[in-house]
């Protein structure tokens, strides 16, 4: 099958849809939705988010050097979208979205209490790349809702109902297809 060739563009989908919370030194905080977030390194644990410099939260992120990546659930899809299309310049997004600030353990930025998983991050480097600047950050702590832990303390993230973003649309995650290494794992003999 011959494919149609388009000009280069960002078509790496789906991506996690996350809400990033941040706060400046005066306590002014905001939430922004980021679809361009990713894992960068295991040791030390590092992530990245990409933000346009004209976004309201850009200066807060740059000044504070910290943020929290909050993983929203399917129940928070509407708030996730609204956090991305409304500006913090127009009012308090926490109030607009009916979300609760919770104190983080390692950073001054608040967690979103309604999100079951929160990654507390400290910015290591800001890379100006063009339309977006990438904030490369170390993950200092991960806050997890105990309801997602099994009896042995293992995180069962599949129970959280996390969402992804794909080319302008939000989706809930689907059925399990396999686990890491299942394609080469030897079958147990009976």
Mean pLDDT score across all residues of the chain: 94
The closest of 149, 177, 158 to 73, measured between CA atoms, is 158
Structure tokens at 46: 């590092």
Q: For the segment 57-107, what is each residue's pLDDT rounded down to a tens digit?
A: 999 999 999 999 999 999 999 999 999 999 999 999 999 999 999 999 999
pLDDT at 190: 67
User: 98: which residues sit within 8 A by CB, 6+ positions away?
Assistant: 79
pLDDT at 23 over 80: yes
| Domain limits for position 90 | 15-172
**Residue 102 falls inside a structural domain:** yes
Looking at the 3D structure of the chain, how many domains does it have?
A: 1
The residue that leads in pLDDT, 30 or 173, is: 30
pLDDT-wise least confident of 17-21, 43-47, 88-92, 172-176: 172-176
**CA–CA separation, 77 vs 69, rounded Å?**
15
**Residue 107 falls inside a structural domain:** yes
Q: For the segment 101-152, what is each residue's pLDDT rounded down to a tens digit?
A: 999 999 999 999 999 999 999 999 999 999 999 999 999 999 999 999 999 9
**Residue 10 falls inside a structural domain:** no
**What is the model's pTM?**
0.93
**Residue 168 falls inside a structural domain:** yes
**Residue 188 falls inside a structural domain:** no
pLDDT at 189 over 80: no
**Residue 187 falls inside a structural domain:** no
- Cα 68 to the center of its chain, rounded Å: 8
| Residue 130 three-state SS | coil
Phi, psi at residue 159, to the nearest 5°?
-80, -10
**Residue 99 falls inside a structural domain:** yes
What CATH number does residue 144 fall under?
Answer: 2.30.110.10
pLDDT at 4: 92
**Residue 98 falls inside a structural domain:** yes
**CA–CA separation, 31 vs 18, rounded Å?**
10
């Amino acid at each position: 099958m011959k494919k149609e060739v388009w000009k280069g563009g960002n078509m790496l989908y789906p991506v996690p849809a996350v809400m990033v919370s941040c706060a400046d030194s005066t306590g002014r905080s905001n939430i922004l939705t980021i679809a361009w977030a990713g894992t960068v390194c295991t040791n030390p644990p590092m992530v990245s988010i990409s933000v346009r410099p004209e976004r309201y939260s850009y200066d807060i992120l740059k000044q504070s050097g910290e943020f929290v990546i909050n993983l929203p659930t399917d129940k928070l899809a509407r708030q996730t979208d609204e956090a991305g299309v409304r500006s913090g310049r127009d009012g308090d997004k926490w109030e607009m979205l009916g979300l609760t600030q919770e104190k983080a353990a390692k950073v001054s930025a608040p967690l979103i209490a309604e999100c079951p998983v929160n990654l507390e991050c400290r910015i290591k480097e800001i890379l100006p790349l063009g339309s977006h600047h990438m904030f490369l950050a170390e993950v200092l702590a991960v806050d997890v809702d105990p309801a997602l832990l099994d009896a042995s303390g293992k995180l069962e993230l599949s129970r959280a109902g996390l969402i992804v973003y794909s080319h302008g649309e939000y989706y809930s995650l689907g059925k399990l297809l396999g686990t890491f290494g299942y394609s080469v794992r030897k079958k147990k003999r009976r």
